């Protein structure tokens, strides 16, 4: 049997999610692809939705997390700012620390789950 645990850390600014799993996944994809449109495709979301997430994050933070350059001879693209890199690194550190701190209780809780049909032999 395999149990999965997913930590869903969200940081609110007022009633709005300033930083959460979707925005972090988008930052990671932008860092990897160098492009907002490529990051959106990789995550299966529209360019418009990706742009809205970046815009909301940029508005919620002390400065922009992502900078974009328009096309042209250089081809444009998007990149994380130093602030965006800090946001990504801190979020990943929170996830890692939470997973490590909760490993024992998670294993104990997972041991209480009924076996999957495949595990039960039928």
What CATH number does the domain containing 46 carry? 1.10.10.10
Domain that holds residue 42: 11-110
- 87-115 confidence digits (pLDDT tens): 999 999 999 999 999 999 999 999 999 98
Total number of domains in the chain? 1
Q: How far apart are CA 48 and CA 50, in angstroms?
A: 5
Q: Find the mean pLDDT for residues 59-76.
A: 81
In a domain, 118, yes or no: no
In a domain, 103, yes or no: yes
Looking at per-residue pLDDT, the higher value among 71 and 77 belongs to: 77
72 sits in the region (left: phi over 0; alpha: psi -120 to 50; else beta) called: left
- 1-18 confidence digits (pLDDT tens): 577 888 889 999 999 999
- Confidence (pLDDT) at 75: 60
In a domain, 104, yes or no: yes
In a domain, 2, yes or no: no
Asked whether 86 and 62 are in contact (CB, 8 A), the reply is: no
Enter the tokens of residue 92.
Answer: 């990943």
- Confidence (pLDDT) at 94: 95
Write down the pTM of the prediction: 0.83
In a domain, 68, yes or no: yes
Q: In Å, how far from its chain's centre is CA 87? A: 10
């Amino acid at each position: 049997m395999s149990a999965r645990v997913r930590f869903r850390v969200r940081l609110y600014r007022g009633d709005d999610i300033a930083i959460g799993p979707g925005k972090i996944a988008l930052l990671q994809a932008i860092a990897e692809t160098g492009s907002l449109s490529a990051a959106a495709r990789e995550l299966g979301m529209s360019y418009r939705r990706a742009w809205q997430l970046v815009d909301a994050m940029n508005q919620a933070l002390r400065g922009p997390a992502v900078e974009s350059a328009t096309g042209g001879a250089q081809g444009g693209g998007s990149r994380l700012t130093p602030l965006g890199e800090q946001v990504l690194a801190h979020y990943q550190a929170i996830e890692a620390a939470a997973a490590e701190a909760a490993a024992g209780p998670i294993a104990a809780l997972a041991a209480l789950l009924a076996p999957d049909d495949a595990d039960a032999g039928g």
